[in-house]
Chains A and B, each alone.
Chain A
Amino acid sequence: MGFDPTKDKAIEEQLVKDLQAGKVSSFEQLANLYQKNIYNLSFNLTRNATDSQDVTQEVLLTLFKKGHTFQGKSAFSSWVYRITLNASYMKLRTRKKEPNLSIEDLLPSLNGAGFQQEKLQDWSENTEAAFFDKETRRVIQKAVDLLPDKEKVVFLLRDVEGLSTEKVSEVLEITIPAIKSRLHRARLFLRKKLASYFEDYKARKERK
């Protein structure tokens, strides 16, 4: 991943000060530091290179034009992520919405006392071979695309962009318990989608 805001805090702080003071050179450096993160997040939301390019340009333009108005109430990176999310959602506005995720559908089948009753297949050790498989990547991307927005954004910021739970809470302005429960749901959903893929994958291999 391009820029790690936690590691390069001092550099970031200086650049942000320069940006607030209207120094053009800091804009270019911040743009270079952040563009990969902006593009990556936007691509994972829109799954479209043209849209992601537009979003990245819009975000950079906002940094350039509004950088001096950044007040420092939250971390600069939180501000950048927030603008990126808003710009990506503008692109998505015309696309369709999905239903809510129910936790019961994502857990294995449980009996009345809360114990598992189906035999689960452990595919976790067979993932390396499948990893670079184009089809596996496609299945994963499709599963993420199917996540409802609320869960998807938490998963992308926390697990993919690697922000801390606290930072995600700052970017999205929602509580930490809500972040945790959405993240858990997203992970359960992805697990379920991958489970059915790998179970089929194994069955297909055994038939060969």
Chain B
Amino acid sequence: MICCKECLELLHDYIEGELSAEVHASFEDHFEDCPPCIVFLNTYKAAIHMSQTTLKSNDIPDIVKERLKEFIDKNKAE
């Protein structure tokens, strides 16, 4: 059986679906039997998801939008 350390190093490739069939199978074997690794995987994914959602939503403030528009218009006119 592969150990936790190896599994945790492979998390990226596992999530991206880049493991070979053989490694993927031993990965799944390990997970069947290892609650701490399941927790680690769940929280790894949750951290990605939460950070993504938080950081995607930096809306440009209206005042900045206006300034950018003025800026674009100015350059267009030149």
Contacts and interface: CB of A to CB of B under 8 A. Distances in A.
Interface residues of B, number: 41
Contacts of A32: 72
A57 B43 contact: no
Chain B interface mostly:
helix
B23 interface: no
B25 interface: no
A190 B47 contact: yes
A156 interface: yes
Interface string B9-27: 1011100100000000000
Interface in B36-66: 36-40, 42-56, 58, 60-61, 64
Interface residues of A, number: 58
B36 A116 contact: yes
Contacts of A136: 50, 54
Nearest to A143: B51
A61 B76 CA distance: 11
Interface of B: 3-6, 8-9, 11-13, 16, 34, 36-40, 42-56, 58, 60-61, 64, 67-68, 71-72, 75-76
